[in-house]
Amino acid sequence: MINKLLTVVGTRPNIIKITQFGRVVRQHPHLEHRLLHTGQHYSHNMSDAFFAELGLRNPDYQLSAGQGSVISQMGTMMQGIEGAVREYKPDLMLVVGDVNSTLAAALVANKMGIRLAHVESGLRSFDRAMPEENNRILTDAITDVFFVTEQTGIDNLLKEGKTHSQIYFVGNTMIDTLVAYQAQIEQSRVLAQLNLEPRTYALMTMHRPGNVDTREGLEKLLDIINDLSKETRIVFPVHPRTLNRFKEFGLYEQVATNKNLVLMEPAGYLDFQNLIQHARFVITDSGGIQEETTYGQIPCLTLRPNTERPSTIALGSNTLLGFDKERIMAAVQSIYQGTYKKCQIPPYWDGKATERIFEAINQL
Ligand code: UD1
Ligand code: UDP
């Protein structure tokens, strides 16, 4: 029987995927739950701000593994997680998503003989050039219990030799957060603060290394922004990776001086969801935002060649376009003309995934 749980998070999307854990654990009095934050994301507006505005209890263990190379980050994470495991002796470790913190924690669980559960397991982009794809495959290779957000997750895991008895189709904990905070999202004043009218602007985010880590990628992005912003105001909360690259390549002035572009720091959760919900469309390379737009039925143009979340394409409001300006402009026209595809919400994206996860844990 499982009594003691340790959940490991490290990045903005990880935090957003576990907001309901504390509340649901309290419905199971025999369960004790602790949270470890690796510090992979460390800027206030990428981490602490979410704990504060979402009313989350501070992590029980806080590491500072955000600086240095990926290897030294992961080494620091693994040592810190080892210390927490030695002290707390969890029966089960829960890891989330596909970031470096996810893999670091999974490796520690494996080496220390702790059972491992992976929330959002089984997703595959089939693109090994993405660090996240390697993190997903390596984590799932050593996971014992799989919590899955969409049917393809089950299909991929079965193809990789996992068994039905290990896999739980629980739905999407990121949508749990949206459902839980909807009333507060509606109270955000962000549109008034930015002087925006609903459905008149596009919301943009961009942070994949494949898109923003080269001058060529950033120049293509600037070209797309320049064309799009002739017709549509663009709101662009800039991820720290992307901001650093714009500055490194001497391109920051070009974005900063575009008058139809609202450039801002990474937004808080409630403001950002309010911006999604009132946008004409969203243009992004984020993983989670493909899902949030599908839930809100807001057109999402994803500037990537592939996605690990194909249900957002098959059922949802997402379209994959790569960095192809003509295809992007054609998709934007179809949104303005009202001919953009209609969509549905994928199964179990209903606000109750966290409940299902803890019911499953009770049966382990
Ligand atoms: C990471 C994840 C990515 C996820 C993204 C969510 C990996 C391999 N990548 O990418 O899957 O989509 O988080 O946002 O785990 N930085 C700051 N402050 C911060 C965080 C980062 O300034 O709070 C800067 C630092 O210069 C850092 C760089 O951004 O070196 C990249 O951060 P890192 O966590 O390595 O990768 P992300 O691009 O954030
Ligand atoms: N997000 C946010 N503020 C922003 C940009 C994103 O709150 O300025 C939220 C977004 O709504 C989603 C999560 O952060 O819940 C996604 O994180 P990100 O795009 O950084 O990571 P990915 O999902 O690509 O791993």
Q: What are the pLDDT digits (tens) for 93-121?
A: 999 999 999 999 999 999 999 999 999 99
Bridge partners of residue 320, in order along the sequence = 302
Q: Which residues line ligand 2 (CB under 6 A)?
A: 12-13, 16, 205, 207, 237, 266-267, 269, 272, 286-289, 292
Query: Ligand 1 centre and the CA of 348: distance in Å?
Result: 29
Establish if 115 belongs to a structural domain. Answer: yes
8 Å CB contact between 258 and 242? no
**Whether residues 214 and 161 fall in one domain:** no
**Whether residues 154 and 200 fall in one domain:** no
**Whether residues 97 and 10 fall in one domain:** yes
Establish if 343 belongs to a structural domain. Answer: no
Number of domains in the chain: 2
For the Cβ of 13 lying below 6 angstroms from any atom of ligand 1, the answer is yes
Q: Is 201 helix (H, G, I), strand (E, B) or coil?
A: strand
For the Cβ of 132 lying below 6 angstroms from any atom of ligand 1, the answer is yes
**Whether residues 194 and 129 fall in one domain:** no
**Whether residues 144 and 223 fall in one domain:** no
Establish if 314 belongs to a structural domain. Answer: yes
For 266, what's the count of Cα atoms within 13 Å in the CB-facing half-sphere?
20
pLDDT for 351 equals 98
CATH label of the domain that carries residue 117: 3.40.50.2000
- Ligand nearest 131 Cα, by number? 1
Establish if 342 belongs to a structural domain. Answer: no
**Which domain covers residue 152, as residue numbers?**
4-171+349-362
Establish if 178 belongs to a structural domain. Answer: no
Dist CA 77 CA 66 (whole Å): 9
**Whether residues 24 and 138 fall in one domain:** yes
pLDDT for 203 equals 98
Establish if 177 belongs to a structural domain. Answer: no
Q: Which residues of 59-68 are buried (b: 16+ CB within 10 A; e: fewer)?
A: bebebebbee
**Whether residues 87 and 41 fall in one domain:** yes
**Whether residues 203 and 286 fall in one domain:** yes
**Whether residues 262 and 306 fall in one domain:** yes
Q: Is 262 helix (H, G, I), strand (E, B) or coil?
A: strand
- Ligand nearest 243 Cα, by number? 1
Ligand 1 atom 7 nearest Cα: 99
Query: Ligand 1 centre and the CA of 339: distance in Å?
Result: 36
Dist CA 294 CA 196 (whole Å): 22
8 Å CB contact between 139 and 102? yes
**Whether residues 332 and 220 fall in one domain:** yes
Overall size of the chain counted in residues? 364
Q: What is the pLDDT of residues 152-179, one digit of tens each?
A: 999 999 999 999 999 999 999 999 999 9
**Whether residues 33 and 149 fall in one domain:** yes
Dist CA 5 CA 60 (whole Å): 12
Query: Ligand 2 centre and the CA of 161: distance in Å?
Result: 32
Query: Ligand 1 centre and the CA of 344: distance in Å?
Result: 31
Q: Which of 9, 11, 12 to mutate to test the pocket of ligand 2 (most atoms within 8 A of CB)?
A: 12
Establish if 213 belongs to a structural domain. Answer: yes
Q: What is the mean pLDDT of residues 42-47?
A: 98
Bridge partners of residue 201, in order along the sequence = 233
What DSSP state is assigned to residue 340? S
pLDDT for 161 equals 98
Establish if 249 belongs to a structural domain. Answer: yes
**Whether residues 65 and 20 fall in one domain:** yes
Atom of ligand 2 lying closest to residue 269 CA: 7
Q: What is the pLDDT of residues 231-277, one digit of tens each?
A: 999 999 999 999 999 999 999 999 999 999 999 999 999 999 999 99
